[in-house]
Amino acid sequence: MSNEFPEMIPRTECHSTRRTYRTKDSRYHMKGSYCTDCGEKYFPPRQGLRCPNCGGRDLQDYYPPKRGEVLTSWKDDVGYPATGYTDFPPRTIVVVKLDDGLHIISEVVEMEGELVEKGTPVKMVIRKHKREDTGNWVYGYKFALAE
Ligand SMILES: [Zn+2]
């Protein structure tokens, strides 16, 4: 802690600045990839050159819909922040089924550990995740209750 950064900055698992830059499209826009041969979708995007489903080589960028519904939720309340994160629990973690069928595990903001009913509509929002090793904030997607 310091005057400049009053909250706790865990140094054990900080995001590196370069890794943060390389993954920004996935965190800001939920960029994934899909195979043009078999149609399989991947999130986060495949790093390899081949589709593990069919072996095809033509993987294209894919941006899934930013809305979906909750399949299940649970309370993250172990008493300390997840490694590298500065937010203290309780947090609400959910499995979201996006409108195109992709499943994503994420956090629902402003719920403070309250469970979310199955089928509740949610939308993607950008929120602070954690600190880089330089002290800068890493932003990324989370979900919020949709109207
Ligand atoms: Zn494929």
Burial level of 52, CB count in 10 A (0-12/13-18/19+)? Answer: exposed
Question: 18-39, pLDDT tens digit by residue?
Answer: 777 888 888 899 999 999 999 9
Gap from CA of 122 to ligand 1 centroid (Å) = 29
**Euclidean distance between CA atoms 110 and 145, whole angstroms:** 9
**Euclidean distance between CA atoms 112 and 106, whole angstroms:** 14
- Give pTM, 2 decimals: 0.80
- Assess contact for 85 and 13: CB atoms under 8 A: no
Gap from CA of 102 to ligand 1 centroid (Å) = 16
Gap from CA of 115 to ligand 1 centroid (Å) = 36
Question: 37-67, pLDDT tens digit by residue?
Answer: 999 999 888 888 899 999 999 999 999 999 9
Beta bridge partners of 107: 93
* pLDDT tier, 118 (very low <50, low <70, confident <90, very high otherwise): very high
